[in-house]
Amino acid sequence: MSDQSPQDAGFWNPYFAGFMLGLVLLASFLVMGNGLGSSGAATRLAVSAAHAVAPQTIEHNGYFSQYFGPGKAVLDDWLVWEVLGIFLGAAMSAYAAGRMKLSITRGPRATGARRLVLALLGGILMGVASRIARGCTSGQALTGGAVLSLGSWLFMFAVFGGGYLAAPLLRRQWK
């Protein structure tokens, strides 16, 4: 052990943070009857932007057509508001802790440009993946895990499996 300060100094104890996360998730179930999510709102925002460009293509798409029809608005969903809340809450927390700073977080050997390209690529992979799995780490692993959904537990194991399998290939990026 050396005396360099660990990279997670200044953040909450992980178990305490997890306990608080569990309480927020529980509150969401008790009030809305639903857990948390974040990829669902990305879907709705992206579909709404694409609809502004090419309404016909989007409305006739076999998957996106579910968001359109009489009495439906693609952005009219509580998840969109919840994700707006994530932005506000995280900004409040970062600001109060003095961590609000324009930057690109990266491993010691990674360049900023390369980091952004990989961030976009990883995001795209997760976008596809979260639609195939019907949710992401929030909507499936956390939410479904807490209500003991079988598929959500398998999803969670698969996330860790996929991450550990691919990690050695990306060592240069992070170590």
Residues 50-79 that bind another protein (CB under 8 A): 50, 58, 61-64, 78-79
Give the nearest distance from C-beta 77 to another protein in angstroms.
9
- In the block, residue with structure tokens 């780490």: 137
**Contact map string, positions 108 to 137, toward another protein, x by CB under 8 A:** -------xx-xxxxxxxxxxxxxxxxxxxx
Q: Identify the residue among 73, 75, 109, 161 touching another protein (CB under 8 A).
A: 161
Give the nearest distance from C-beta 69 to another protein in angstroms.
14
Residues 6 or more apart in contact with residue 1 via CB below 8 angstroms: none
Judged by CB under 8 A, the chain residues 16 through 35 that form the site for another protein are 16-35
Give the nearest distance from C-beta 139 to another protein in angstroms.
7
Environment class of 52 (CB within 10 Å of its CB; exposed 0-12, middle 13-18, buried 19+) = exposed
- Binding residues for another protein, rule CB under 8 A, total 133
Q: Which is nearer to another protein, 18 or 55 (CB)?
A: 18
CA atoms of 156 and 149, how far apart (whole Å): 11
CA atoms of 91 and 51, how far apart (whole Å): 29
Q: What is the DSSP letter of 142?
A: I
